[in-house]
Structure 1
Amino acid sequence: MDPQLVHATLRKHQLADGLQFVLDLERSHGVWLHDAKTGREYLDAYTFFASWPVGFNHPRMKDAAFQRDLVRAAEHNPTNSDLYTRDMAQFVDLFGSAVTPASHRWHFWVGGGALAVENALKAAFDWKARKLGRTSMDDACDDLVVLHFKEAFHGRSGYTLSLTNTDPNKVGLFPKFPWPRVHNPKLEFDLDGRIANDVEASEKQALAEIDAAYAKHGKKIASIIVEPLQSEGGDNHLRPEFLRALRRIADERESLLIFDEVQTGFYGSGTRWLWQQLGVEPDLVPFGKKTQVCGFYSNDRVTEVEGHVFARAGRINSTWGGNLVDMVRCRRLIEICEAEKLHENIAREGAFVVAGLRAIARERRAFANVRGVGSLVAFTLSSVEERDAWIAKLQENGVLALRCGPQSVRFRLPLILTNAEARELLKRVEACIPARAQVGATGAAR
């Protein structure tokens, strides 16, 4: 098809309000996305919303044996929940041994990050119900709740709609549960990378609201769920000290602690999972995006009750149990990430980008609150209008980036990013700044 016809063709049958260029899968290469309509190339700092880790047309993805496995899996679509294949077993074995820590041996596979979170919540509800002595399938459990945080994004499916609270357009006019929502004590950074806000007071407020939630709901809080780095909500970082407090509360109050790593996990933070570098172990971890196939993994705490979801057939399930093509692809991505130590690479280059952005911010005073870990990098503007203008200017300068929160720009960097490409990214960022950008009283440009 003529690439000039792609958007018009789509609009005949669907909303087609995405990027106004056409991805050329053959000509795109490395960190460079090729537009089939114009022939222009863009430095990809959004990576399909953090879901594609190794760039375009990676040489190891062209391996003949992998290509045969991929085509064989694509020719069929087996129900992996009930009918097993050698391809699935090879994938599960590699994921469970190379990616997931030994402390979390239980895995569940499904299609989509929201359903990964959804099924982790169901596992927690099942666990809590049984802890409360509710073992009959007729026992009412509508009083069980999930404690979650402001500016969270956990998906757009049934249960997750009651947790997500970033953009009203994504959750408004849909029925939701009135589950307890508490303050998120996010960090703010000055231009030298030091913590700039009174985070201890912010954490004290959050902990007080958590205490109030437990006073109201008692033993009915099945789980505490948090993104260790709130992504869509604003790339909000939380201190390990606060996450340790959540761990303590979950243990003392008999709730499961869930870290949603759909966007932060799978090598993207500079470690296989962000929680590993933060030093706080969750009970359940939903994953997705870069993993291709989605799901969650769990430690043995879930097995404290008889008939838990990993022991009773059919408690959590789906027709396909993930997708075999995604499993085959994920297996290859694991092999690439491990062989090339891409988590170490992006830890190094991500830190270089953050340092470079802070240097630009100090010199040009165009943005503030630069923050990041690994591939997950962001900075803040003075208003939503200025942020949106920055997204447009970046695209004009050949960089694809994402919005997050009310007024921030986020990068989701390819794990293969080289230092030369990191320098090119910084050069293009600086090219977006007007000659006389000045810092406002809040630390953001205006």
Structure 2
Amino acid sequence: MIKMPHVIPSYSRFPVTFVRGEGVTLWDDQGKSYLDFLSGIGVNNLGHCHPKVVAAIREQVGQLIHTCNLYRIPLQEEVAKALTESCFAEQVFFCNSGAEANEAAIKLARKTMHERKQSHRYEIITANNGFHGRTLATLTATAQDKVQRGFAPLPSGFKYVPFNNAQAVEQAVGEHTAAILVEPIQGESGVVIPDPDYLPALRDIADRHDLLLIFDEVQTGMGRTGRFWCHQHSGITPDIMTSAKALASGIPMGACLTTAKVATAFSPGSHGSTFGGNPLACSAALATLSVIGSDGFLQSVTAKGEYLLQGLKHITAKHKMVIDTRGCGLMAGIQLNSPAEETVSICLSRGLLVSCQMGTIVRMLPPLIVEREDIDRALTIFGDVLNDLF
């Protein structure tokens, strides 16, 4: 792993330095090209340097980069309008990351109960092996010991249950429960896809107990699964939803979306963000949203996702060390019965970027603009790596 002596070593970095990107391709400082099937961990949904996003950023950076939220920001209104037109939400809070968006969602849930004169309701139910961020509140919401280790005492007010188990959620609801917070598909845990009735069951539980239902769509949103938002496959809506990663194609941006009714809990001073929704980020987000929302785009994601998954299943069916091959849209997980780090490292050496999740799972998150010939190349590399290793 590479070392950067003046940077705090909070990451294990592969020994490669990327200097240029275009579409699904990255080039390192030695001139070698790589097929990017990780998309900067689900950030570059439109690939690298999408021309519409680049043009929007170039125009905006020459006009106005930042003003604070003490003043009207017209681009912010445009992005909020585009987001609300894509889903259930009616109002948006802007920030800089998924962790900040989830922090806002947690605060909004508690503040809602406070406004209802129910301040005793503050607990958030989350799922084991979910991932919601690395701030103190969001790492506590993240029910993984490896994320929480060393940061005690953790904030109180979180309760954990198994993922894809609505009965466990029902049993966890108590007098202090304010909300349920889950990912529609667990991304960092290796593309763990729940049963089709899971999210509707959570909606039913939330309704019966007068709770808020929060969906973390930081990784699954922005077209990743073939719908604008992953929960739209289920036919139900949350009360609050979070987004980030691909929202501005690499310019830091996050968003907490909700209904007008729930949004009333936040008044001036309740929450804030210095950089959230600034003109530069909004210009990138608006361009990104326009591409994802264009005619036929999401349908193409679905078709290419099916093509990728079929290809992966064809390859992995030949190998007994593969326990499961799963996916939804253009996110896929290949679960091995042995550590996946070597598989990922060899893929990198052969020009394919993928990631290792939970020790034994290879995750693929290709850009949504990937073409079938790119998928074919990735399948060839991945299949050859499996053949050589196993």
Q: Contact 1:240–1:279 at 8 Å: present in 2 too?
A: no
> How many Å separate the matches in 2 of 1:338 and 1:133?
39
Aligned residues: 383
> How many Å separate the matches in 2 of 1:353 and 1:421?
10
Q: CA deviation at 1:153?
A: 0.5
Among residues 407, 410, 417, which one is paired with 2:363 in the alignment? 410
Match of 2:113 in 1: 128
Compared CA separation, residues 73 and 346, structure 1 to 2 (3 A): farther
Compared CA separation, residues 247 and 338, structure 1 to 2 (3 A): closer
> How many Å separate the matches in 1 of 2:145 and 2:354?
18
Compared CA separation, residues 112 and 174, structure 1 to 2 (3 A): farther
Aligned residue for 2:214, secondary structure, equals strand
Amino acid at match of 2:333: A
- Give the TM-score taking structure 2 as reference length: 0.91
> How many Å separate the matches in 1 of 2:350 and 2:274?
44
Among residues 64, 71, 96, which one is paired with 1:73 in the alignment? 64
Match of 1:12 in 2: 6
> How many Å separate the matches in 1 of 2:145 and 2:259?
32
Q: CA deviation at 1:211?
A: 3.5
Q: CA deviation at 1:62?
A: 4.6
Among residues 16, 23, 26, which one is paired with 1:21 in the alignment? 16
Match of 2:172 in 1: 213
Matched, 1:33 2:12: no
Q: How does 1:14-413 map to 2 (within 5 A)?
A: 14-15=8-9, 17-25=12-20, 28-36=21-29, 38-63=30-55, 67-74=58-65, 77-79=66-68, 81-97=69-85, 100-101=86-87, 103-134=88-119, 144-166=122-144, 168-169=146-147, 171-176=149-154, 177=156, 179-185=158-164, 203=165, 206-207=166-167, 209-214=168-173, 217-218=174-175, 220-292=176-248, 293-302=253-262, 308-309=265-266, 312-339=267-294, 341-383=296-338, 385=339, 387-413=340-366
> How many Å separate the matches in 1 of 2:255 and 2:378?
33
- Of stretches 120-129 and 335-344 in structure 1, the one that deviates more from structure 2 is 335-344
Aligned residue for 1:52, secondary structure, equals coil
> How many Å separate the matches in 2 of 1:435 and 1:400?
18
Compared CA separation, residues 431 and 144, structure 1 to 2 (3 A): same
Amino acid at match of 2:24: V
> How many Å separate the matches in 2 of 1:83 and 1:211?
44
Compared CA separation, residues 180 and 95, structure 1 to 2 (3 A): closer
Amino acid at match of 1:30: G
Q: Name which one, 1 or 2, has greater alpha-carbon Rg.
A: 1
Amino acid at match of 1:319: T
Q: Contact 2:126–2:181 at 8 Å: present in 1 too?
A: yes
Q: Contact 2:356–2:363 at 8 Å: present in 1 too?
A: yes
Amino acid at match of 1:32: T
Q: Contact 2:331–2:363 at 8 Å: present in 1 too?
A: yes
**RMSD of equivalent CA atoms:** 2.2
Aligned residue for 1:11, secondary structure, equals coil
- Give the TM-score taking structure 1 as reference length: 0.80
Matched, 1:428 2:381: yes
Match of 1:3 in 2: none
Q: Deviations over 1:16-72 (max 9, x none)?
A: 7423222213xx221111001x21111101111101111123333454x65212332
Amino acid at match of 2:111: D
- Could you list the runs of 5+ residues in structure 2 that have no partner in the other structure? none
